[in-house]
């Protein structure tokens, strides 16, 4: 466990004009989406955050920008976690893909695209992974009716 790792990351990011803060034992960093790729590259190459844990989104209906896109990273040597959080609008829900940096990102970005309709610039393969072809809408958005079903088989009479 590298106790000083997160503090070094915090100093470095604070020096670049970001506002990292500790939350629940990890470092949470809000940042604009334009800086996502450069910060992730710095975390991976400079601080050894070699494992991409997950990307997901949070829908805030009524807020503008509407979506948070949240990334988690882990250092398998330092045993520390970092969370990056960026925002996108409903009209332009696009962030840069992390596929050039982490191959596993391809699948998690597909899931995030399924569930929230976030598009990842640079990920060429955003086919449905948990949903199926022809599914309309994005079920984890708050405005998706919670009992709307899209059956693939015609129901019996």
Which residues bind to other proteins, rule: CB under 8 A? 131-132, 139, 144, 146-153, 155-156
CB atoms within 10 A of CB 60: 12
Quick one: 64 or 147, whose CB is closer to other proteins? Answer: 147
CB atoms within 10 A of CB 56: 16
CB atoms within 10 A of CB 126: 16
Give least dist CB 104 to other proteins, A.
23
Which residue's structure tokens are 């829908």?
A: 59
Give least dist CB 130 to other proteins, A.
8
Quick one: 124 or 149, whose CB is closer to other proteins? Answer: 149
Quick one: 1 or 152, whose CB is closer to other proteins? Answer: 152
Give least dist CB 143 to other proteins, A.
13
Which class for 148: exposed (0-12), middle (13-18), buried (19 or more C-beta within 10 A)? Answer: exposed
Q: Do residues 53 and 63 lie in contact, with contact meaning Cβ atoms separated by under 8 Å? A: no
Give least dist CB 99 to other proteins, A.
25
Quick one: 91 or 152, whose CB is closer to other proteins? Answer: 152
Structure tokens at 4: 């000083």
């Amino acid at each position: 466990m590298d106790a000083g790792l997160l503090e070094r990351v915090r100093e470095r990011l604070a020096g670049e004009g970001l506002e990292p803060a500790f939350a629940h034992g990890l470092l949470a960093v809000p940042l604009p989406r334009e800086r996502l790729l450069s910060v992730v590259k710095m975390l991976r190459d400079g601080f050894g955050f070699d494992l991409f844990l997950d990307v997901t989104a949070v829908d805030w209906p009524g807020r503008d920008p509407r979506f948070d896109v949240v990334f988690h990273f882990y250092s398998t040597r330092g045993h520390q976690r970092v969370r990056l959080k960026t925002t996108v609008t409903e009209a332009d829900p696009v962030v840069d893909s992390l596929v050039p940096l982490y191959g596993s990102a391809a699948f998690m970005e597909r899931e995030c695209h399924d569930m929230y309709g976030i598009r990842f610039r640079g990920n060429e393969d955003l086919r449905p992974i948990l949903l199926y072809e022809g599914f309309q809408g994005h079920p984890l958005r708050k405005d998706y009716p919670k009992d709307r079903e899209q059956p693939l088989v015609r129901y019996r009479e």
